[in-house]
């Protein structure tokens, strides 16, 4: 799953895959602001065939949070 998430980050956010680790903070480490987070969520939804609610999106702070959200679907 992490490799697929890294691919989405790399293609959508121009973030080097090596930086996309479970402990990485989306805002502080990967420079993903709220607008970019919406775009990222859409791409993750497409990649994994899931839906991420606005509430879930607001609670995604780290790459691990993203992984947990996807795994819960």
What's the farthest any 2 CA atoms get from each other in the chain? 28
Q: Is 68 a catalytic residue?
A: no
Choose the catalytic residue: 16, 29, 33, 65.
33
Distance of CA 31 to the CA centre of its chain: 12
DSSP bridge partners of 25 = 62
Are the CB atoms for 17 and 7 separated by under 8 Å? yes
Catalytic annotation, residues: 33
């Amino acid at each position: 799953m992490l490799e697929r998430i890294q691919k989405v980050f790399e293609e959508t956010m121009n973030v080097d895959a090596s930086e996309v680790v479970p402990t990485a903070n989306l805002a502080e480490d990967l420079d993903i602001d709220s607008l970019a987070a919406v775009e990222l969520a859409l791409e993750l939804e497409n990649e994994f065939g899931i839906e991420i609610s606005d509430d879930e999106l607001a609670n995604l702070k780290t790459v691990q949070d993203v992984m947990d959200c996807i795994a819960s679907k």
